[in-house]
Amino acid sequence: MGVIKAAITGINGWVPEYVLTNEELATMVDTSDEWITTRTGIKGRRILRGNGSGTSSLGVPAVKGLLEKTATDPLDVDMLICATVTPDMQFPATSNIISAKTGLKNAWSYDLNAACSSYIYALTTAAQFIETGKYKKIIVVGADKMSSIVDYTDRATCVIFGDAGTATLLEPTNDGVGIMDTILRTDGNGMAHLHQKAGGSVKPATHQTVDAKEHFIYQEGQAVFKFAVTNMADVSVEIMEKNNIKPEELAYLVPHQANLRIIEATARRMGIEKEQVMINIQRYGNTTSATIPLCLWEWEDKLKKGDNIILSAFGGGFTWGAVYLKWAYDSN
Ligand code: UT7
């Protein structure tokens, strides 16, 4: 029996039907398809509509689909971690709501918030539980209803974000595949540039906070852009070098989809070709905790057992990092 690694053994995504196009946004704020496309690469984003629907409404269908496609009995799932910055409510955790609605009666669950790096933080956390040998099946949900914290009168942020849900199954393996290495970083000083001002314990909701629009995303785009480009590229190159992966040996980089220019700069620094990068930002925008798994889900058919893959993210906090994994299965 070799060393136990945690492997992704199934992935699923779920996006709402409604597509908010650049053209429709141009009727809501002073923007244009041309500006959004050239500055961000985004053409459309999905929006979850309907009273009473929240992030769990994105996570539940993603988990149900995952259980079905991997023929997993919900009662066999040990644990669920929900990576999100837009929980259904302050408490209880959205993970608990998702677990209850998907029949995970034997799982314990909690939420994890590392802004746009939430998925790679959650994946790394889940991997530790698998590697101890104690847990056999863990689901990581990456889901965000970003439209719930976006100010649709602020052109600087409303064009960027979208809603999506994903679910990833992790299981133990000793087959030489799975999560090989992770590098995660945090710098709380980044808070100044990207945060949500009110609604937490420092500034609970009041009429004033609502009037001042302090429950929406506050982002200093250019400052965040500079940190994102440098740190996402640095950490991606670092994990490549640490694991002796040459550019031609990498099957795919799966970058957080915040801005096409950040993705392209990261790929350039890694010395890899466009074909080695998963990009779907044009269709979904920045779905925060869901971007990376949404890519893996869309590319699943093309992946082969043993493929070298690097996941890389940068987000509010600041948080950033990279995960190196060897894909664990052939889809076809
Ligand atoms: O995922 C979590 C981490 N977040 C990120 O990684 C986001 C990083 N930042 C970015 O992706 C970019 O900074 C943005 C996409 C947010 C903004 O792009 P930018 O190229 O940095 O634009 P900017 O903020 O420097 O604004 C340039 C101009 C400004 O006008 P003036 O002052 O030059 O007249 C803005 O007011 O573009 C204007 N502008 C817009 N114009 C049309 C800002 N938003 C828009 C818009 N449509 N939607």
Q: Is the CB of 178 under 6 A from ligand 1?
A: no
Question: One-letter amino acid identity for 162?
Answer: G
332 has a pLDDT exceeding 80? no
Strand partners, 116: 114
> Quick one: pLDDT at residue 331?
84
Domains along the chain with CATH numbers:
5-176 (3.40.47.10), 180-326 (3.40.47.10)
SS3 278: coil
Structure tokens at 59: 């996570």
pLDDT digits (tens, 9 = 90+) for 116-167: 999 999 999 999 999 999 999 999 999 999 999 999 999 999 999 999 999 9
Is the pLDDT at 114 greater than 80? The verdict is yes
| Predicted confidence band of residue 263 (pLDDT cuts 50, 70, 90) | very high
**Ligand 1 pocket test: which of 146, 219, 225 has the largest number of ligand atoms within 8 Å of its C-beta?**
225
161 within ligand 1 shell (Cβ under 6 A): no
Distance CA 15, CA 163 (A): 7
Beta strands (DSSP E) in 116-202 are: 138-145, 163-173, 178-186, 194-196
The DSSP element (H or E) to which 311 belongs, if any, is strand 308-315
Q: What is the pLDDT of residue 264?
A: 97
Nearest to 86 by CA among 140, 146, 142, 139: 146
Cis peptide, bond prior to residue 293, ω within 30 of zero: no
Average pLDDT score over the chain: 97
Of 20, 38, 222, the one to substitute when testing ligand 1's pocket (max ligand atoms within 8 A of C-beta) is 222
Residue 215 beta carbon below 6 angstroms from any ligand 1 atom: no
For range 165-172, the mean pLDDT = 98
Tokens of 25: 């946004």
Please report the atom of ligand 1 found closest to the CA of residue 31: 47
Contact 4, 36 (CB under 8 A): no
Q: Is the CB of 65 under 6 A from ligand 1?
A: no
Q: Verify whether ligand 1 is closer than 6 Å to residue 315 (CB atom).
A: yes
In the structure encoding, which two tokens stand for residue 3, read together?
Answer: 């060393």
Q: Which residues are catalytic?
A: 116, 256, 286
Reply yes or no on whether the pLDDT at 1 is more than 60.
Answer: no
The verdict on the CB of residue 294 being under 6 Å from ligand 1 is no
Question: What pLDDT score does 103 carry?
Answer: 98
Beta bridge partners of 6: 172
Find all residues with CB under 8 Å of 210, minimum gap 6, and list them: none
Global pTM value? 0.97
The answer to whether residue 2 scores a pLDDT higher than 80 is no
pLDDT, tens digit, 9 for 90 and up, residues 199-249: 999 999 999 999 999 999 999 999 999 999 999 999 999 999 999 999 999
**pLDDT score, position 69:** 98
pLDDT tens for 16-45 read 999 999 999 999 999 999 999 999 999 999
Q: How far is ligand 1, taken at its centre, from the CA of residue 293, in Å?
A: 26
| pLDDT the model gives residue 248 | 97
CA 225 to ligand 1 center in whole angstroms: 9
CA pseudo-torsion sign 327, 328, 329, 331: negative
As a whole-number percent, the residues of the chain with pLDDT over 90 amount to 98
Determine the pLDDT at residue 271. Answer: 97
Interstrand relation of 308-315 and 252-255 (parallel, antiparallel or unpaired) = parallel
In sequence order, the 6+-apart residues with CB closer than 8 A to the CB of 105 are 74, 75
Helix 118-131, helix 291-299: angle, nearest 10: 70
